[in-house]
Structure 1
Amino acid sequence: MALQYVVTKRVFGFDKDKNEKYVAKSVRSGKVNFAKMCRKVSQLCGVHRKVVDLVVSGLVDKMAEDIDDGKSVQLGEFGIFSPTIRAKSADDEKDVSSKSIVQRKIIFYPGKIFKDTLEDMSITRRVEIETDYTDGSSNGGNNGGNPDSGDDGKGDNGEAPDPAA
């Protein structure tokens, strides 16, 4: 499956004239949660799902410990997880302190596997499906799936007259 994008209209803050511009924006096709990923890896490797869950949970715990120590963690060709900060700037060096830090975050640098995947991934424009909206009335053209509702406009709802009457 390809990565999809839609075209959106934007006004960029750095544009003095505040002109509207069009830009491609990626659209995700879904999300895979931890349990489902463990199930997939379990099927691929032929081990019980709980074993995969334990190994991955242990890996994440140990990564968190090393990142807490200020270390980057490299997982082979998977990539590198590196702790970093975002801080306010100051005019004088003496004005920079831990209070200047506004955000702590972990940056992921993808390894060869993901770089190759991104390079080979096809990209397509998502076509928006046009939708016809009704006015909400009961006569919106849908007669409940019956091709012929039997209503001939005479008010008898398509019933044959009773010969005994």
Structure 2
Amino acid sequence: MSQGFKLVQRSSKPGEKDAAKKYYAVAKSNGTSGLKHLCKMIAARSTVSSADVKAVLDNLNFVMDMELQEGRIVQLGEFGNFRLSVSSDGVENEKAFDNSLLRKPKIIFTPGKELRETKATTDFTKIVPEVVTVECDRPHAV
């Protein structure tokens, strides 16, 4: 199976009214995999129940939150690392800086080796919308 994409037309220079429009590729998802489904899939590959997997993931989320707030990088082995990132508006000198200049922090995920390989080995397929005819005899995209 491959990752689908579609083409969308956007301004080549956002914010400029008269900028030329170009077509850009945008990933098109093929549905979602919720936590319940993932827990069942993990349980099927191991000796623990789906409920046990969910309990561990719930606790992982809780502990990761605590560790990130303490300023730690959370390393999850081959899965990857999570860390907080912060930025701010610039000031002329250190005395002019105060915490109100801080922007909302972001959580940065750095994937491990296998997930990085996924990026390199994923195939892409262009998704073309189907055209159907309805009662008005005009084509409509689905």
Distance in structure 2 (CA, Å) of the matches to 1:86 and 1:131 = 49
Q: How does 1:62-73 map to 2 (within 5 A)?
A: 62-73=63-74
Gaps of 5+ in 1: 141-165
State the shift of 1:90 in Å.
2.8
Structure showing greater Rg: 1
TM-score (norm 1): 0.74
User: For each residue in 1:75-133, what CA deviation from the matched residue of structure 2 results, as whole angstroms up to 9, or x when unmatched?
Assistant: 11111101012322233433322101121110111110101112111111111111223
State the secondary structure of the residue aligned to 1:108.
Answer: strand
Query: Which is bigger in relative contact order (C-alpha 8 A, separation at least 6)?
Result: 2
- Where 1:70 maps in the other structure, the secondary structure is coil
Which residue of structure 1 aligns with residue 9 of structure 2?
Answer: 9
Query: Closer, same or farther in 2 for the Cα pair 1:129/1:59, shift >3 Å?
Result: same
| Unaligned stretches of 5+ residues in structure 2 | 138-142
Which shifted more, 10-19 or 109-118? 10-19
Equivalence map 1:73-152=2 (5 Å): 73-135=74-136
Stretch moving more, 89-98 or 10-19 = 10-19
2:20 corresponding residue in structure 1: 19
- Counterpart CA distance in 2 for 1:93 and 1:76 is 38
2:52 matched residue in structure 1: 51
> Which amino acid letter does the alignment assign opposite residue 8 of structure 2?
T
How many pairs align?
136
Poorly superposed stretches of 4+, deviation over 6 Å: none
Please state whether the residue corresponding to 1:5 is helix, strand or coil: strand
Q: 1:77 to 1:28 in 2, by over 3 A?
A: same
